[in-house]
Amino acid sequence: MTIAELPAGLAAAADASLRWYPDGPHSLNQTLGVLLRGTGDPSFSSRPDGFWTAFTTADGPVTLRLTLTAGGGAAAGGSAVSGGAAAGGAAAGGFMREAHVDAQAWGPGAEAGIAGVPRLLGSADDWSAFDEPAFHATLPRMVREARRRNLAVRLPSTGRMIDCLVPTILEQKVTVIEARRGYRYLMYRFGSRAPAAGTAAPEGLLVQPTPAQWLRIPSWEWHQAGVGPQRSATVMRALRSAVALERLAALTSAEAAAKMQVIPGIGVWTAAEVVQRTHGCPDSIAVGDYHLAAYVGAALTGRRTDDAGMLALLEPWKGHRQRVVRMIGLSGFRKPTFGPRITIQDHRRH
């Protein structure tokens, strides 16, 4: 992995910038896609001119654009390879051009946002032990095949605890549809407009509320968002410890997960979902998820299982269990569905 300065023209168009060369194949969409709360997440936008996001740093808000380029051509949110002749693709003169990501940032938090780009793109995510032949041979065939087809996947590390924790709490014990609908409502009502990025930034790109802004949301707005009092109370308790929670980014994923669970209402499922994204944890498993255990069991054995069964199945690959789950998800496997689906209860008008 190499970091370099952008060419003068590109750098001059932003408040801060860098060019990042990954040490292997890379996909912006596959790497950063796990951070989005659905395709309608107002803090992200994937467009032909790049992958856009906006968030708050210690120095203030930032708008960030990431553009992946392979062999001299922009791939925007797609995939590219780098690291030598076998991977890079031939250029016109017969030489190989490496893939790279150009990062441009605008706003008060531009410098801080740029500093976090390599880890955001998975620079700290090392798949070498997972890909080691002896270990690789122990994996189920579907996992091996999925890995072969998805060498560009990285696990991102945002380092932003609150930005990940709040929407994760909103997803507790409700359907994905309900959680994302509520999150979008709160973002459009209380999020902030992303810092201006010339004329290029996507219209409607928003920055998630700060802890102080979340705390000022009145109870009736939580109700209007379809967020019940138990989840909103958990958000409030967590945000009263926002400063301490943000410090967890400097700890290991195991330490951060344990300390998060001291807050009432934050359990093992929530902590695992958070550190997967904030720390790029390759091993955290969302025990207690409504679908995950049955999905993993069906994929690996053809039969549904519970959390204990899932953990037993994944035990041989401890240290890489999240990587295994990601590869199962990318394999295209879908478990059989039986019986009626959960009915979504809408209490917003009650």
Gap between the Cα atoms of 212 and 347, Å rounded: 27
Taking residue 127's Cβ as centre, other Cβ atoms within 10 Å add up to 17
Over range 189-209, report the average pLDDT.
90
pLDDT in tens, 24-34: 999 999 999 99
pLDDT in tens, 141-198: 999 999 999 999 999 999 999 999 999 999 999 999 999 999 999 999 999 999 988 7
Helices (H) and strands (E) in the chain, counts: 19, 11
> Are 114 and 121 a contacting pair, CB within 8 Å?
no
Q: With a cut of 50, say whether residue 94 has pLDDT above it.
A: no
> Are 311 and 285 a contacting pair, CB within 8 Å?
yes
Say which CATH topology domain 161-330 has.
Endonuclease III; domain 1 (1.10.340)
Amino acid 109: pLDDT: 97
Joined together, the tokens standing for residue 163 give 């930005």
Amino acid 82: pLDDT: 45
Amino acid 348: pLDDT: 58
Amino acid 83: pLDDT: 42
Joined together, the tokens standing for residue 93 give 């003169």
Q: Where are the domains of the chain?
A: 2-125, 161-330
pLDDT in tens, 281-300: 999 999 999 899 999 999 99
* pLDDT interval class at 90 (50, 70, 90): very low
* CB-count burial class (<10 Å; 0-12, 13-18, 19+) for 77: buried
Q: With a cut of 80, say whether residue 93 has pLDDT above it.
A: no
This prediction's pTM: 0.89
Amino acid 350: pLDDT: 57
Q: With a cut of 80, say whether residue 62 has pLDDT above it.
A: yes
Closest CA to 102 of 44, 51, 158: 51
Q: With a cut of 50, say whether residue 333 has pLDDT above it.
A: yes
> Are 180 and 188 a contacting pair, CB within 8 Å?
no
Largest Cα separation within the chain, whole Å, is: 68
Cα dihedral 296→299→303→307 (10° resolution)? -10
pLDDT in tens, 223-241: 999 999 999 999 999 999 9
Closest CA to 347 of 237, 213, 231: 231
Task: Name residue 63's beta-bridge partners.
Answer: 54, 106
What share of the chain has pLDDT > 90, as a percent? 79
Angle 322-323-326 from CA coordinates, rounded to 5°: 85
What three-state secondary structure class fits 350? Answer: coil
Q: What are phi and psi of 131, to 5 degrees?
A: -85, -5
Q: What are phi and psi of 128, to 5 degrees?
A: -60, -40
CA distances (Å), 11 to each of 5, 105, 106, in order? Answer: 8, 9, 11
DSSP string, 19-73: EEE-SS-EEHHHHHGGG-SSTT-TTEEEETTEEEEEEEETTEEEEEEEEEEETTE
Q: What are phi and psi of 217, to 5 degrees?
A: -70, 125
Mean pLDDT (the chain, rounded): 89
Amino acid 202: pLDDT: 86
* pLDDT interval class at 42 (50, 70, 90): very high
346/261: higher pLDDT? 261
